[in-house]
Structure 1
Amino acid sequence: MQASAISSFADFDDRRITQPNIDQHWHRLSTAQRFAFYTLAKLGYQLLFVRQAKNEKTAVARQDGQLVTIDSEGDIDFNPTLVLRENR
């Protein structure tokens, strides 16, 4: 039983291995998110990724250690409650 569980886990598609490039994330942004990100980019923020849950897309950007999120409406949250995998 243990060997079969390990072999089925090895077939699991881990998204951390193959990350979409920045252009793929850019195309996932809504128009409002793109305009909001333009403002952040002028301040030195970089787009990290876009996550979609049901009908909500959330863009995550970072400047140094400061994370921000941009919701589908283009509203920027400069103090999100978000923990990245690399920071766990």
Structure 2
Amino acid sequence: MQVAAINTTPGCDDRRLEQPHIDQHWDRLSTAQRFAFYTLAKLGYQLLFVRQSSHEKTAVARQDDKLVTIDSEGDIDFAPALILRENR
């Protein structure tokens, strides 16, 4: 299932026209994000997509209806200010 987000962060690109395959998202993760995601994957989270602005990469993962984000440093936010288009 492909999903996208309404971005609440200024300076991020809108990628509604073309959604990359999940492998392409994985390739966009930093090393720190990959290690953080390994921890989340053990808890049942799935990587949805990676958004990249000029200065930040943010990975978005989901478990059921719970969203989390992982910043470029690998810090996990369990309460992101993010709304998925499918939930609008």
TM tier, smaller: 0.7 to 0.9
* 1:41 and 2:41 aligned: yes
- Alpha-carbon distance, 1:18 to partner: 3.3
Gaps in structure 2 of 5+ consecutive residues? 1-13
- CA deviation vs aligned residue, 1:35-59 (integer Å, no higher than 9, x gap): 0000000000000000001110000
The count of residues paired between Structure 1 and Structure 2 equals: 75
Structure of greater relative contact order (alpha carbons < 8 Å, 6+ residues apart) = 2
Gaps in structure 1 of 5+ consecutive residues? 1-13
* 1:18 and 2:18 aligned: yes
User: In terms of Rg, which structure is larger?
Assistant: 1
Alpha carbon RMSD of aligned pairs, Å? 1.3
2:56 alignment partner in structure 1: 56
TM superposition score normalised by structure 1: 0.80
Structure 1: distance between partners of 2:77 and 2:18:
28
Structure 1: distance between partners of 2:15 and 2:73:
26
Same amino acid, percent of matched pairs = 84
- Alpha-carbon distance, 1:79 to partner: 0.5
Residue type at the aligned position of 1:51 = R
TM superposition score normalised by structure 2: 0.80
Residue type at the aligned position of 1:26 = W
